[in-house]
C-alpha cells in the first residue's frame, strides 16, 4: 500500500524534500497520534522514493554528459573560498 498520488509525479525534488522535512519535524515533536504517525511514515516513504528516483535520474544525466561515459567526481569549491 502506498500513499502516492497522481500529483506526486509532478512534485519537484525540492517540494518533496520540504514536505519530507516537515513530516520529520511533526513526528519528532511527538504530537501525532499513532495513526497519524503511521500515515506520516507511509507518506515519508513515498517522498523518499520520489527523491531517490530524481537523484538517480540526475546521476544518469551527468553520466550521459560525461564524454567518456565514466562517472567522475565533481570537484566543488566552497563559495567562501572563491
* DSSP alpha helix (H) spans, 2-33: 13-29
pTM: 0.68
Instruction: Please name each of the domains of the chain with its CATH number.
Output: 9-65 (1.10.287.1040)
Could you count the other beta carbons within 10 Å of the beta carbon of residue 75? 5
Q: In this predicted model, what pLDDT tens digit does every residue of 38-65 receive, in sequence order?
A: 999 999 999 999 999 999 988 888 877 7
Rounded to 10°, the helix 34-65/13-29 angle is 150
Nearby residues of 19 by Cβ (< 8 Å), 6 or more positions away: 11, 43, 47
3-state secondary structure of 3: coil
Give the CA diameter of the chain.
Answer: 53
Amino acid at each position: 500500500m502506498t500513499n502516492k498520488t497522481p500529483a506526486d509525479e509532478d512534485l519537484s525534488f525540492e517540494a518533496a524534500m520540504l514536505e519530507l522535512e516537515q513530516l520529520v519535524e511533526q513526528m519528532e515533536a511527538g504530537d501525532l497520534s499513532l495513526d497519524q504517525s503511521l500515515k506520516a511514515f507511509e507518506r515519508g516513504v513515498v517522498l523518499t522514493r520520489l527523491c531517490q528516483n530524481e537523484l538517480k535520474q540526475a546521476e544518469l544525466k551527468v553520466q550521459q554528459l560525461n564524454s567518456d561515459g565514466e562517472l567522475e567526481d565533481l570537484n566543488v569549491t566552497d563559495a567562501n573560498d572563491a
